[in-house]
Amino acid sequence: MNDSQFSSKLLENAINEFAKLPGIGRKSALRLVLFLLRQSTEEVNNFGNAFIKLRNEIKYCKRCHNISDTEVCSICSNPKRDEKTICVVENVKDVLSIENTQQFNGLYHVLGGVISPMDGIGPNDLNINSLVERVSNEEIQEVILALSPTMEGDTTNFYIYKKLATSGRPVKVTTIARGVAIGDELEYADEITLGRSIVNRTLYQENV
């Protein structure tokens, strides 16, 4: 679709802005803009301001680096959470994914990425030092490494493990279980995952 064919610069500009988003092409952008044009002025003002407000006012929790409206996020400041367990994740999305499982009641630590020399991301680009500080200063008993089971994730796991081991204060370091995903057919599981799931087999429990 050629830009010059729009009769309105405002329309063209709005379409261009939508088309900058990942996964939204110019045709979808046009459809979304025409949808917004059918909404009331107030609704569109709310729409646009939601993102402006988010970008300008959002904070990152100074304790766990999670996205937050306040200096310390609602998870870190919740007295019902177990403050002795830290789950280390790559990004904010992973916090949401784990929260959605409702299986974890501890605190988080958002690294902001994983060590990836190919992308020029080294340990100092990540929130690793603040993790070591938390372990040294707070009464942490367990650090759960919940990074993706990729080369970069494993490298980062190993780096953090070494850092914590040499930091003086003993702490239990665990990783999330790797194994055959629930609902998957065994024959489609890759060899490494299947092999690991045999090595790391767990005691059979009824009703689990």
State the residues that interact with its own copies by CB under 8 A.
Answer: 1-2, 5-11, 13-14, 16-17, 20-23, 28, 30-37, 39, 41, 44-58, 61, 66-69, 73-75, 91-93, 95-96, 99-100
CB of 57 to its own copies, least distance (A): 6
CB of 24 to its own copies, least distance (A): 8
User: Which residues neighbour 186 within 8 Å (Cβ) at sequence distance 6 or greater?
Assistant: 180, 194
CB of 62 to its own copies, least distance (A): 13
CB of 21 to its own copies, least distance (A): 5
Q: Is 93 helix (H, G, I), strand (E, B) or coil?
A: helix
d(CA 26, CA 20): 9
d(CA 175, CA 185): 24
d(CA 114, CA 175): 15
Look-up of token digits 């803009």: 33
Contact 125, 113 (CB under 8 A): yes
Burial class (CB in 10 A: 0-12, 13-18, 19+), 92: middle
**Choice between 23 and 168, CB closer to its own copies:** 23
**Choice between 12 and 138, CB closer to its own copies:** 12
- Angle between the N-to-C axes of helices 26-37 and 9-19, in degrees from 0 to 180, rounded to the nearest 10: 120
d(CA 73, CA 61): 5
Residue 14 tokens, joined: 């709005």
Residues in the chain: 208
CB of 43 to its own copies, least distance (A): 8
CB of 112 to its own copies, least distance (A): 11
